């Protein structure tokens, strides 16, 4: 994390955010041996910036289209279903006026929808609960999905809503100063519902392309 933070801080001034993914060699080699196409694509298309000469990459196993389809379907069925359950729990908590609980459940729904897209398209998801980072990781996969939470500089309301959603994971549960209104929650629920519909459509299209 020290190296990751240094790189992020160094390029913080750039208009386009830099996403840093850090894994040890064993994790990467396990993924290559299993044919995980996220790491396979990196080895095939990536640019090596430094090589200590100490480690070697495992040979990447090539998955057949039927294998890729089966894996993507398995990811979709698990993660999309879980995300929908969180969305149901959000609405139940909202109806009870348990707004902080609803904010946490909505964060979980959004996180799981992001992970659904990442796993279906790449077979990989980063180890983070940070919606900002997940949003950046999925940007190149679907501009339509990215646009659900665009919050341009002039859109203070959009940025405020996304911040409330992002803080729902920890602050809504543990910090007394976290506050979200019924109106803010209602708007976020509508946005995440749109997010769900886009997630379902683009993931099913991707799964259908493995033929």
Residue 93 pLDDT class (50, 70, 90 cuts): very high
Residues 152/94, Cβ–Cβ less than 8 Å: no
Residue, of 12 and 47, whose pLDDT is higher: 47
Alpha-carbon distance of 29 to 60, in angstroms, equals 8
Each residue of 5-42: b (16+ CB within 10 Å) or e?
A: eeeeeeeeeeeeeeeeeeeeeeebbebbebbbbbbbeb
pLDDT, residue 39, reads 79
Q: Is the torsion defined by CA of 18, 23, 29, 30 positive or negative?
A: negative
Q: Is the dihedral of CA 173, 177, 182, 188 positive or negative?
A: negative
Please determine, for residue 24, whether its predicted confidence score (pLDDT) is greater than 70: yes
Q: Identify the pLDDT of residue 192.
A: 97
pLDDT in tens, 6-23: 766 776 666 666 667 777
The pLDDT of residue 58 is 81
Q: What pLDDT score was predicted for residue 1?
A: 55
Least reliable range by pLDDT among 84-88, 106-110, 133-137, 189-193: 133-137
Question: Which of 54-58, 148-152, 165-169 has the lowest average pLDDT?
Answer: 148-152
- The per-residue pLDDT for 8 is 67
Compute CA distances 154 → 129, 157, 158, 180, whole Å.
26, 9, 9, 21
Task: Dump pLDDT digits (tens) for 130-148.
Answer: 999 899 899 999 999 998 9
d(CA 146, CA 117): 12
Neighbours of 90 (CB within 10 A): 26
Greater confidence (132 vs 107) lies with: 107
Res 77: pLDDT: 98
Residues in the chain: 211
For residue 129, give Cα distances in angstroms to 73, 168, 173: 23, 10, 14
Distance CA 168, CA 126 (A): 19
- Tell me the average pLDDT across 107-136: 94
**CA 145 to each of CA 5, 83, 86, 154: distance values in angstroms, whole numbers, following the listed order:** 27, 15, 19, 20
């Amino acid at each position: 994390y020290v190296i990751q933070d240094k790189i992020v801080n160094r390029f913080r001034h750039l208009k386009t955010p830099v996403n840093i993914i850090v894994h040890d060699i064993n994790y990467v080699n396990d993924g290559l041996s299993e044919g995980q196409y996220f790491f396979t694509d990196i080895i095939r298309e990536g640019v090596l910036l430094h090589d200590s000469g100490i480690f070697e990459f495992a040979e990447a196993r090539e998955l057949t289209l039927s294998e890729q389809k089966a894996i993507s379907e398995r990811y979709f069925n698990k993660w999309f279903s879980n995300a929908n359950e969180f969305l149901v729990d959000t609405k139940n908590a909202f109806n009870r006026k348990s707004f902080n609980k609803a904010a946490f459940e909505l964060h979980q729904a959004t996180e799981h929808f992001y992970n659904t897209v990442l796993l279906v398209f790449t077979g990989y998801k980063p180890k983070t609960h940070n919606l900002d980072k997940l949003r950046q990781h999925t940007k190149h996969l679907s501009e339509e999905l990215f646009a659900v939470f665009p919050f341009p500089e002039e859109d203070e309301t959009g940025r405020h809503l996304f911040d409330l959603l992002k803080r729902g994971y920890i602050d809504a549960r543990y910090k007394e100063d976290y506050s979200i209104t019924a109106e803010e929650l209602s708007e976020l629920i509508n946005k995440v519902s749109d997010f769900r519909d886009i997630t379902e459509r683009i993931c099913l299209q991707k799964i259908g392309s493995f033929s």
